Chains A and B, each alone.
Chain A
């Protein structure tokens, strides 16, 4: 035993010496483990909802416009500004993952409430989670009068959207989302028409500088004709995100004017091929209410 002890101790002292020469090696062990942040700039991509939430204690106010179409007396209507559709939204980060809010859109005078929860967050580092999954549900109430002469019940006016937003930040520039969604209208034109329809929204953003990004989105399975002859089209939008301090400006062109999930996703009557293109913007401002 004893003869072994001496060389062992020498080895130990050598090891200590080796350690000393690479003092700063300890820095290599500092591994980044983090929840992936800033997958998208805003809580909305354009119309599509993203995985982002405002964060705990943050109140967000959002103002959105969709201007009149290019083929609707464009200059007479002052570049479409005269017949803009407006949406105002107020939402709050209850926790970093939970977001609740409400909004009012002038298109069919729809009021809505929504809840959003980050079920799974994308993570990197010591533990890798490749995607994020966020659940989002909205309840929408149409305030606009019906002109069909039928006495409608209150429940006729409700519509709903539920979706799972699967988002991934591929690198610092490119992020994408795929959102399987279900839309339900309590009232449809005839009994042959489905109350519930399924849709898939695809979206992406590509950063062109630290504060600017290009965005695009489209929703599949929305192109259908109802028995009443109403034809609904595939919504799409292209835009640019500009960020300054606590604001995010989103400027875009789309073939939609409604800003409530069920309406722009499943009841979009406009088509780019016959001039149904609209300029629009979303502006969001955040206020830290609770620090």
Chain B
């Protein structure tokens, strides 16, 4: 009888350890993801990079999320960066851009929220596993007007109404 109890305990311990490891091992996270934004035109170079995007992925159910603080985008021109935050995306009111969805068959499907406007998106993406890390890559285009960001007519020919976004996030096991 005692032997049975002992072996039961051992079994439970192993089960518990396994479940613990497997569950925590399924999630990946980074807070140093790279996100770029390009709405330039032949007349004006409008590009920005953020090196502090947060990306999180759950391998068990395919849930995928990416978030970036708008003020973390760095432009080459200080004034352009100020205008981006102050006049276009209104970072003080809408500080974050967030994607929440799932990764399924080389696509990221979910909701993209920028400037307080949520839009359902379905864009190509890749997740490549290398050891303890998973690298997320995506490149897609958003229509600026869809997110309620107004472009004044005076500068309309300088800004591409279709902004190209690229995502490059190498996530670690959480």
Interface residues of A (CB under 8 A from B): 2-3, 5-6, 9-10, 12-13, 16-17, 19-20, 23-24, 26-27, 30, 32, 34, 37-38, 54-56, 58, 93, 96, 171-172, 210-211, 243-246, 286, 288, 291
Contacts and interface: CB of A to CB of B under 8 A. Distances in A.
Interface stretch (B64-72, B115-123, B130-138, B140-148): B64-72
Contacts of B26: 20
Interface string B53-84: 01010101101010101010000111101110
B86 A210 contact: yes
Among B29, B77, B79, B93, the most chain A Cβ lie within 10 Å of the Cβ of B79
A9 B78 contact: no
B168 interface: no
B16 A10 contact: yes
A47 to B, nearest CB: 22
A30 B69 contact: yes
Contacts, number: 104
* Closest CB pairs A-B (n = 6): A55-B78, A9-B16, A16-B23, A13-B19, A210-B87, A13-B20
Contacts of B12: 6
Contacts of B76: 288, 291
Contacts of A93: 78
Interface residues of B, number: 44
Contacts of B87: 210-211, 243
Contacts of A246: 79
B54 A27 contact: yes
Nearest to A24: B65
A178 to B, nearest CB: 23
B39 interface: no
Contacts of A17: 23
A32 B71 contact: yes
B155 A26 contact: no
Contacts of B77: 55, 58, 288, 291
B152 A38 contact: no
A54 B56 CA distance: 37
A32 B69 contact: yes
12 contacts: A6-B16, A13-B16, A13-B20, A19-B24, A20-B23, A23-B56, A23-B63, A23-B65, A172-B92, A245-B155, A246-B79, A291-B77
A16 B24 contact: yes
Contacts of A55: 77-79
A172 B27 contact: no
Interface string B71-109: 100001111011101110010110110101000000000
Given A6-B12, A172-B92, A172-B93, A286 B79 contact: yes
A244 B153 CA distance: 11
Given A172-B90, A244-B152, A286-B79, 19 more contacts: A6-B9, A9-B20, A12-B16, A13-B19, A16-B24, A19-B24, A19-B27, A20-B60, A23-B63, A24-B63, A27-B56, A32-B69, A37-B71, A37-B82, A54-B78, A96-B78, A172-B93, A243-B87, A288-B79
B154 interface: yes
Contact of A244 (B29, B96, B155): B155
Among B13, B16, B82, B100, the most chain A Cβ lie within 10 Å of the Cβ of B16
B164 interface: no
Contact of B56 (A3, A26, A172): A26
Given A9-B20, A20-B60, A37-B86, A26 B9 contact: no
B24 A244 contact: no
A32 B97 CA distance: 13
A5 B54 CA distance: 35
A194 B93 CA distance: 49
